[in-house]
């Protein structure tokens, strides 16, 4: 073996950075391995024009460094990609973490060795490393979903996926096509409309998009946040979605139609997709009548914004308002520009690519200089099934998860000892930095606890070995299943249930109980002596 570590952390985004800090602070020898050339994760890769958070700037960061929280600048109420990237680089520098990180290196396999109780890791640079603990912070929206249209390789123009954007681009005077109209498509279309000669949006499923409410963060606003930062985090971490607002407890139909309209209008003016869906009323995501009220409100807004009735009819969704809520900075308005048009590819599907562009089933060849695939990700388990991660008996996670991924608490899988996942399957569906922090702190405490046990107590193994029990995994999986059973989200085909990738099984990928409840569950697990984990 070339080198032994206490812990290897894979990924240097929000998760990997904080995980490495916590383990280094415990005095462990740690190596972070990252495929990219620098830190940042999502914010390293997704440099497409318009890339920004849909979480408010004050909550799209770490909560644990209060001095830094109060001092570190942000310009607007939402953070742009370059700002998040700069922030994460700053955190790594401030806490001197870069020395533990190895970039341009991919973990290509990980094998549990029962004889030594170690993880053996192979990298793309030919290294063979071993570690007691393997922590995967490989991201849940990280493995790209690239469309597989016939002839795509023959296209002579520029072809990009938003999730691996080049460091520079110049689309001035060019005819640009965008495939996809999820969060990313909405952002990239909004940003490019004014810049390019012609923008053609290939839309399969229209979405419900509400304004983000993005404005300049005034000094007064910043002072207000700074003065109450601790309370803000406390509220967020104990709420359901951790977006910084109180989730509504009122059913949609419990108020008069005038009152309902007023509440929707106020939320529309204030902005934020999660606030609109979950801050207005409590039942939009599971009650069909409530869902229709919210959907109708947004449909009216689209109709009132988009002047061309043909474009408007293509942009207006007809299915449930039940995907990750989106927000924008003027998306629908861009369709009032003469240089922006839309093709409904449910009506006229893309049949193939040619050297010059994209052909749809009506026989039209749309000539393009640039095609941007805003086609999303193989979410949650994508990076786990991409490489062989073999636990006891040599079974890969991909094989184990053939019927759909499962875990205990989103962090541990039976038969994969000392493997801990950050944002693994069936973790909370929330604003993610506070969930990442919660899981990092839980994993870090668990590792510390394991290391402090007398070896004799730990199943007679040579080293501390911790893994979830099958029973705990089954119970957690069952709970996640039940919690999403009534959700209208489950009826759709979005990445939230793994249903956006051709051939992938529709499965439960999140715990819908909210971050506050999840944190209480973790507290109970700890209080009960790490209930559900073997080795204790
Ligand atoms: P990532 O940031 O995805 O980092 C994972 C890293 O692991 C990557 O750098 C990858 O290169 C590396 N990696 C993976 N596999 C390997 C391997 N085998 N070997 C070596 N390295 C590997 N969330 C929110 O809560 N709010 C938002 O507003 C928001 N906006 C988003 C906007 C976009 C465009 C996208 C794509 C996602 C957004 N997200 C948002 C989700 C976002 O992914 C998380 O908030 C967060 O950044 C995840 O951090 P992470 O460290 O867990 O994973
Ligand atoms: P999403 O939300 O999965 O959206 C992807 C979009 O691309 C969506 O409109 C898809 O249509 C479309 N798509 C996917 N594959 C194809 C093919 N083959 N042909 C045509 N259109 C396709 O990904 P995003 O990147 O926008 O956002 C993911 C999350 O990242 C987001 O929620 C934020 O948290 C950040 P469909 O809807 O499947 O019909």
In this prediction, residue 458 has a pLDDT band, given cuts at 50, 70 and 90, of very low
Checking ipTM against 0.95, whether it exceeds it is yes
The residue contributing the CA closest to ligand 2 atom 31 is: 183
Q: In the block, which residue shows the tokens 């009132």?
A: 304
Which residues of the chain are in CATH 3.50.50.60 domains?
A: 5-143+378-527
For residue 369, the SS3 value is coil
Do 372 and 48 meet the contact criterion of CB atoms below 8 Å apart?
A: yes
Q: Which of 6-15, 164-173, 236-245, 271-280 has the lowest mean pLDDT?
A: 164-173
The arithmetic mean of pLDDT across residues 422-443, rounded, is 98
Report which DSSP code applies to 5: E
Q: What is the pLDDT of residues 234-264, one digit of tens each?
A: 999 999 999 999 999 999 999 999 999 999 9
Q: Which residues pair with 159 in a beta bridge?
A: 371
Q: What six digits make up the tokens of 294?
A: 């919210």
What does pTM read for this prediction? Answer: 0.97
- Give 243 Cα–ligand 2 centroid separation in angstroms: 22
- Nearest of 339, 322, 96, 102 to residue 197 by alpha carbon: 339
Pocket mutation for ligand 1, best pick of 138, 144, 188, 379 (most atoms within 8 Å of C-beta)? 138
Q: How far is CA 498 from CA 44, 130, 477, 506, in A?
A: 24, 32, 15, 5
Q: How far is CA 451 from CA 13, 33, 166, 182, 331, in A?
A: 26, 22, 43, 44, 52
182 lines ligand 1 (CB under 6 A): no
- Give 185 Cα–ligand 2 centroid separation in angstroms: 7
Q: Which atom of ligand 2 lies at the shortest distance from residue 326's CA?
A: 32
- Given a cut of 90, is residue 355 above it in pLDDT? yes
Q: What is the pLDDT of residues 99-115, one digit of tens each?
A: 999 999 999 999 999 99
Q: How far, rounded to the nearest angstrom, does the alpha carbon of residue 517 sit from its chain's CA centroid?
A: 20
- Nearest of 288, 266, 163, 262 to residue 210 by alpha carbon: 266
Tell me, letter by letter, the H, E, C secondary structure of 67-80: HHHHHCCCCECEEE
Topology of the domain covering 5-143+378-527: FAD/NAD(P)-binding domain (3.50.50)
Pocket mutation for ligand 1, best pick of 139, 239, 389 (most atoms within 8 Å of C-beta)? 139
Between CA 236 and CA 522 the distance in angstroms is: 17
* Average pLDDT across the chain, whole number: 95
Between CA 297 and CA 284 the distance in angstroms is: 12
Q: How many CB atoms are closer than 10 A to CB 166?
A: 9
With a pLDDT cut of 70, the percent of the chain lying above it is 98
Query: Of the ligands numbered here, which is closest to the C-alpha atom of 322?
Result: 2
- Nearest of 119, 126, 46, 131 to residue 88 by alpha carbon: 46
Q: What is the pLDDT of residues 29-87, one digit of tens each?
A: 999 999 999 999 999 999 999 999 999 999 999 999 999 999 999 999 999 999 999 99
Alpha-carbon torsion (330, 193, 347, 305), positive or negative: positive
Q: Which helix (H) or strand (E) holds 107?
A: strand 107-113
Between CA 229 and CA 66 the distance in angstroms is: 8
Give the up-direction half-sphere exposure of residue 485: CA atoms within 13 A in the CB hemisphere: 7
Q: What six digits make up the tokens of 432?
A: 């993610």
Between CA 502 and CA 148 the distance in angstroms is: 10
Between CA 447 and CA 444 the distance in angstroms is: 5
- Give 34 Cα–ligand 1 centroid separation in angstroms: 12
Q: Which helix (H) or strand (E) holds 231?
A: helix 229-238
Between CA 174 and CA 391 the distance in angstroms is: 50
Helix, strand, coil shares, percent, the chain, to 5: 35, 20, 45
Q: In the block, which residue shows the tokens 């109970």?
A: 524
The arithmetic mean of pLDDT across residues 415-429, rounded, is 97
Between CA 374 and CA 112 the distance in angstroms is: 36
b/e per residue 355-384 (b: at least 16 CB within 10 A):
eebbbbeeeeebebbbbbbbbbbbbbbbbb
- Given a cut of 50, is residue 456 above it in pLDDT? no
The length of the chain, given as a count of residues: 536
Pocket mutation for ligand 1, best pick of 142, 143, 212, 438 (most atoms within 8 Å of C-beta)? 142
Between CA 323 and CA 459 the distance in angstroms is: 45
State how beta strands 128-136 and 118-123 pair. antiparallel
Q: What is the pLDDT of residues 485-519, one digit of tens each?
A: 999 999 988 898 888 888 888 899 999 999 999 99
For residue 4, the SS3 value is strand
Between CA 129 and CA 119 the distance in angstroms is: 8
Q: Which atom of ligand 1 lies at the shortest distance from residue 17's CA?
A: 51
500 lines ligand 2 (CB under 6 A): yes
Do 151 and 160 meet the contact criterion of CB atoms below 8 Å apart?
A: no
Q: What six digits make up the tokens of 2?
A: 């070339």
Q: What is the pLDDT of residues 333-354, one digit of tens each?
A: 999 999 999 999 999 999 999 9
Between CA 65 and CA 59 the distance in angstroms is: 13
Q: How far is CA 345 from CA 181, 205, 316, in A?
A: 11, 8, 14
Q: Write the CB contacts of 265 (distance below 8 Å, at least 6 apart in sequence).
A: none
Model pLDDT, residue 1 = 60
């Amino acid at each position: 073996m070339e080198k032994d570590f206490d812990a290897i952390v894979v990924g240097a985004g929000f998760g990997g950075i904080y995980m490495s800090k916590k383990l280094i602070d415990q005095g462990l020898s740690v190596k972070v391995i990252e495929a990219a050339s620098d830190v940042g994760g999502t914010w390293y890769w997704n440099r497409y024009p318009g890339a920004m958070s849909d979480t408010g700037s004050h909550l799209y960061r770490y909560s644990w460094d209060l001095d830094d929280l109060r001092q570190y600048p942000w310009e607007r109420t939402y953070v742009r990609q370059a700002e998040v990237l700069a922030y994460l680089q700053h955190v790594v520098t401030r806490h001197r973490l870069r020395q533990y990180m190895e970039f341009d290196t991919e973990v290509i396999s990980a094998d549990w060795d029962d004889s030594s109780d170690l993880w053996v890791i192979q990298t793309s640079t030919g290294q063979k490393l071993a570690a007691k603990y393997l922590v995967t912070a490989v991201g849940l929206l990280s493995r790209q979903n690239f469309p597989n249209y016939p002839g795509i390789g023959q296209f002579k123009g520029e072809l990009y996926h938003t999730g691996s954007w080049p460091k520079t681009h110049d689309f001035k005077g060019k005819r640009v096509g965008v495939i996809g109209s999820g969060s990313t498509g909405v952002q990239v279309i909004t940003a490019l409309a004014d810049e390019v000669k012609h923008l053609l949006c290939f839309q399969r499923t229209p979405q419900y998009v509400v304004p983000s409410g993005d404005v300049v963060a005034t000094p007064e606003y910043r002072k207000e946040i700074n003065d109450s930062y601790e309370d803000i985090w406390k509220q967020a971490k104990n709420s359901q979605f951790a977006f910084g607002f109180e989730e509504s407890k009122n059913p949609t139909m419990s108020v008069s139609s005038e009152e309902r309209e007023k509440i929707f209008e106020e939320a529309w003016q204030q902005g934020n997709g999660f606030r609109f869906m979950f801050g207005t009323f409590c039942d939009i995501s599971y009650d069909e009548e409530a869902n229709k009220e919210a959907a109708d409100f947004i449909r009216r807004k689209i109709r009132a914004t988009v002047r061309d009735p043909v474009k408007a009819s293509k942009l207006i969704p007809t299915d449930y308002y039940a995907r990750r809520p989106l927000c924008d900075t003027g998306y629908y308005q861009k369709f009032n520009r003469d240089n922006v048009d839309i093709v409904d590819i449910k009506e006229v599907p893309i049949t193939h690519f040619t050297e010059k562009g994209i052909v749809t089933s009506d026989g039209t060849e749309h000539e393009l200089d640039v095609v941007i695939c805003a086609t999303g990700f193989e979410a949650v388990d994508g990076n786990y099934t991409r490489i062989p991660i073999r636990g006891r008996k040599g079974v890969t996670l991909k094989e184990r998860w053939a019927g759909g991924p499962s875990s205990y608490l989103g962090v541990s899988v039976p038969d994969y000892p000392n493997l801990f996942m950050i944002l693994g399957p069936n973790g909370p569906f929330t604003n993610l930095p506070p969930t990442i922090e919660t899981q990092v702190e839980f994993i870090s405490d668990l590792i510390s606890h394991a290391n402090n046990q007398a070896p004799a107590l730990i199943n007679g193994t040579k080293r501390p070995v911790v893994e979830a029990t099958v029973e705990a995994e089954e119970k957690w999986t069952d709970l996640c299943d039940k919690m999403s059973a009534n959700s209208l989200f489950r009826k759709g085909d979005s990445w939230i249930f793994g249903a956006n990738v051709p051939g992938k099984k529709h499965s439960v990928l999140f715990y819908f109980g909210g971050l506050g409840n999840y944190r209480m569950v973790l507290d109970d697990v700890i209080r009960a002596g790490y209930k559900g984990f073997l080795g204790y």
